[in-house]
Amino acid sequence: MSHLVDPQTVRNIELGMMEEKIRNEWDLDKSFKLVDKRNSEIYMVMRELEEIAWRASSVFNEREFKGIKEMVSVDRNWKAFDKEFYKTDMESMEHFFNMANGFDDRMRLIENWICRKETEYQTRVNLPTADL
């Protein structure tokens, strides 16, 4: 019979039979019903918690930041001219990284920052002033 009727209909019939049995066994009111669905508020809370967990799992951690910093530092900080800028660049990167880490499109933001910084690095011609 279950092959001819969809599973939800079979489930509803089984639920009705269980309701009748429990109602008779416990002498409950005729309005007694078993529910086969969650309360919508519980469903919404569960969805919110799932989204929070998903967002938290995709945030970059300290190890990943160090890996990105090492990649950006390739062929950097060994020339006297670049040494003047390197510390400022890394502080800027860390500040931007921490800000971008809170957004869903953090990877795109960080990639854009790296591209802009690479362009800036290639166009530098003057040494920074002493107050920098």
User: Same domain for 27 and 76?
Assistant: no
Domain assignment of residue 131, yes or no = no
User: Same domain for 47 and 83?
Assistant: no
DSSP letters for 28-92: --TT-----S--HHHHHHHHHHHHHHHHHHTS--HHHHHHHHHHHTTT-S-SHHHHHHHHHHHHH
- pTM for the complete prediction? 0.55
Read off the pLDDT of residues 8-29 as tens digits, 9 standing for 90 and up.
788 888 888 999 999 999 888 8
Mean pLDDT for all residues in the chain: 85
Domain ranges, residue 69: 62-123
User: Same domain for 42 and 74?
Assistant: no
Domain assignment of residue 14, yes or no = yes
Q: pLDDT value at position 38?
A: 66
Per-residue pLDDT averaged across 54-67, rounded?
88
Report whether pLDDT(2) > 60.
Answer: no
